[in-house]
Structure 1
Amino acid sequence: MEAGVTDKTAGARFWLQSIVALLAGFAAVVVLSLLADAVFHLTGVFPANGQAMTEVGDNLLALSYRMVFGAFGSYVAARLAPARPLLHALILGAVGAALAILGVATTWNMNLGSHWYPIALVVTALPMAWIGGLLGRKG
């Protein structure tokens, strides 16, 4: 087998592993967040779906578990990364921050609750990814 073919295969495997690591971390954040949201809505901790969350305590609770889940997703991405685990975690954090910015922009005038909450999601995305990435480093 030629050296170039082996290099191409290794390169393709590296990118595939990187993509899988990022998708797994992202899926962990999304699934855990949706499950927690559902549990809190079903148990009456949060208002019924479709109603604005206006209580500061509700928003703080949602922010706190989203921060933990963001760190955990970044941990997963770092653990599964073929190399440079912290970079993978921070890429996932950047994706989370970008999606949070999109959420701020699209919901700003929809009267869904406090404006500080979606802004806090933006602000905490990268720090939590960094923490998850540090915890997820191998070795």
Structure 2
Amino acid sequence: MSIIKSTGAVVAGLAAASIASLGTDAALKAAGVLPHDHLYVGVPLVLTVIGYRTVFNILGAYLTASLAPRRPLKHAVILGGIGTFFSAFGAVATYDMDIGPHYYALSLVVLAMPSALLGGYLQTRGRAARVAVA
């Protein structure tokens, strides 16, 4: 039963971060802030996209660690590994597609694991504080 809970925790964090990122992308495209077919926009806007995706990844890892049956930081690291893999795959797959600056895709690869570690750390720190108070 623990493997099901562990898998569910990781899937929930991945789904939450993905849905939040894609939903925000869609909302910004619908509002005309982001173009529909590429990410050749100004550097501040690209940094904004990187920023909100990083925040959503931190929150996804926090959720994963919160739902983990035990060893919450390990679950967050697993999520970070999955995020790093998919980000690297995406960066390689889109490298020659000319859909945006290369630093955008590479930044997602670089930030995936630190985001997951931060989310897991914040959750475990909060969990330790709750245990100490109780």
Supply the distance in 1 between the matched residues of 2:94 and 2:69 (Cα, whole angstroms). 37
Structure 2 contact 16–60 (Cα < 8 Å) conserved: yes
Supply the distance in 1 between the matched residues of 2:39 and 2:26 (Cα, whole angstroms). 15
In the other structure, the counterpart of 2:106 is 119
Supply the distance in 2 between the matched residues of 1:53 and 1:99 (Cα, whole angstroms). 22
Structure 1 contact 21–80 (Cα < 8 Å) conserved: yes
In the other structure, the counterpart of 1:131 is 118
Letter in 2 for 1:111: D
Q: Deviation at 1:118?
A: 0.5
Structure 1 contact 22–88 (Cα < 8 Å) conserved: yes
Q: Deviation at 1:51?
A: 3.3
Residue among 2, 8, 26 paired with 1:20 = 8
Letter in 2 for 1:17: K
Supply the distance in 2 between the matched residues of 1:136 and 1:46 (Cα, whole angstroms). 32
Q: Deviation at 1:120?
A: 0.4
Query: Deviation above 6 Å: which 4+ runs of structure 1?
Result: none
Supply the distance in 2 between the matched residues of 1:52 and 1:20 (Cα, whole angstroms). 33
Supply the distance in 2 between the matched residues of 1:73 and 1:79 (Cα, whole angstroms). 10
Structure 1 contact 18–88 (Cα < 8 Å) conserved: yes
Structure 2 residue 88 is the aligned partner of structure 1 residue 101: yes
In the other structure, the counterpart of 1:34 is 22
Structure 2 residue 70 is the aligned partner of structure 1 residue 43: no
CA RMSD of aligned residues (A): 1.0
Q: Deviation at 1:45?
A: 1.2
Give the number of aligned pairs: 126
In the other structure, the counterpart of 2:59 is 72
Larger radius of gyration: 1
Structure 1 contact 46–53 (Cα < 8 Å) conserved: no
Letter in 1 for 2:109: V
Supply the distance in 1 between the matched residues of 2:54 and 2:37 (Cα, whole angstroms). 23
Letter in 1 for 2:27: V
Structure 2 residue 37 is the aligned partner of structure 1 residue 55: no
Supply the distance in 2 between the matched residues of 1:17 and 1:35 (Cα, whole angstroms). 26
